[in-house]
């Protein structure tokens, strides 16, 4: 049963993140069971998990829907993410090791290849972006931060914001990653914190521009 519910969870999460199951869409167990090729019980378990992660909301009538996001919701997510990730960067600057710095530089080089390619691979960019931020979070060595940020960074609005980036924005994101890496390598806690704050805030404003 666990394997089937995991399969349903992965499929439904991917379809929510991609927008194939859009905000406000009602999640009907029978239809989703056919979609995921499992029985209704694993689907029910997957929906419960997605609800705890804020991907899904349950109405007063106990129907499940893909969560919808108001502008206030989006602003709050990015504000909280900015506070937490900037603190993670500050901690990481005082704790990071040479292997993690090397890994960050490697991610930056791989991202450079993606953003300079003739056709931008959005999913590759997103995967590298997530890897970069995950390395910094790991270097912060804070389980509390990892738990709090894990729920924020995986929210659909964060995923879809990165997918909406234009070429200028992905280039800017890479430049900021390079500068953040330099601050971390130098062990400059205040610089790293300030750069990460600005980096997340720019992402939020890029999202607002795209939504306008």
What span, in angstroms and rounded, lies between the C-alpha atoms of 159 and 19? Answer: 10
- Architecture, CATH, for domain 2-66: Orthogonal Bundle (1.10)
Q: Mean pLDDT of successive 10-residue segments in the chain (212 residues)? A: 84 87 92 93 93 88 89 87 95 98 98 93 88 95 87 66 77 96 98 97 82 62
Q: What is the pLDDT of residue 55?
A: 87
Q: What is the pLDDT of residue 173?
A: 93
What span, in angstroms and rounded, lies between the C-alpha atoms of 162 and 123? Answer: 9
Domain segments of the chain as ranges: 2-66, 71-211
Q: What is the pLDDT of residue 150?
A: 73
In order of 47, 118, 150, 154, the CA distances from 160 in angstroms are: 20, 22, 16, 10
pTM above 0.75, yes or no: yes
- Architecture, CATH, for domain 71-211: Up-down Bundle (1.20)
């Amino acid at each position: 049963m666990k394997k089937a519910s995991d399969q349903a969870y992965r499929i439904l999460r991917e379809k929510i993140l991609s927008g194939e199951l859009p905000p406000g869409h009602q999640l009907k167990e029978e239809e989703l069971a056919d979609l995921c090729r499992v029985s209704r019980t694993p689907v029910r378990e997957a929906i419960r998990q997605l609800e705890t992660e804020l991907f899904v909301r349950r109405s007063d009538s106990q129907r499940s829907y893909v969560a919808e996001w108001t502008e206030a919701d989006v602003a709050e997510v990015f504000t909280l993410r900015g506070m937490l990730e900037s603190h993670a960067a500050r901690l990481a600057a005082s704790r990071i090791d040479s292997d993690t710095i090397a890994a960050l530089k490697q991610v930056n080089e791989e991202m450079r290849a993606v953003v300079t390619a003739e056709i931008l691979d959005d999913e590759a960019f997103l995967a590298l972006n997530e890897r970069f931020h995950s390395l910094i979070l790991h270097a912060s060595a804070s389980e509390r931060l990892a738990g709090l940020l894990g729920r924020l960074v995986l929210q659909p609005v964060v995923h879809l914001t990165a997918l909406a980036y234009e070429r200028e924005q992905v280039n800017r994101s890479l430049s900021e990653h390079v500068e953040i890496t330099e601050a971390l390598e130098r062990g400059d806690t205040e610089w790293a914190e300030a750069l990460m704050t600005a980096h997340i805030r720019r992402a939020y404003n890029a999202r607002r521009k795209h939504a306008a």
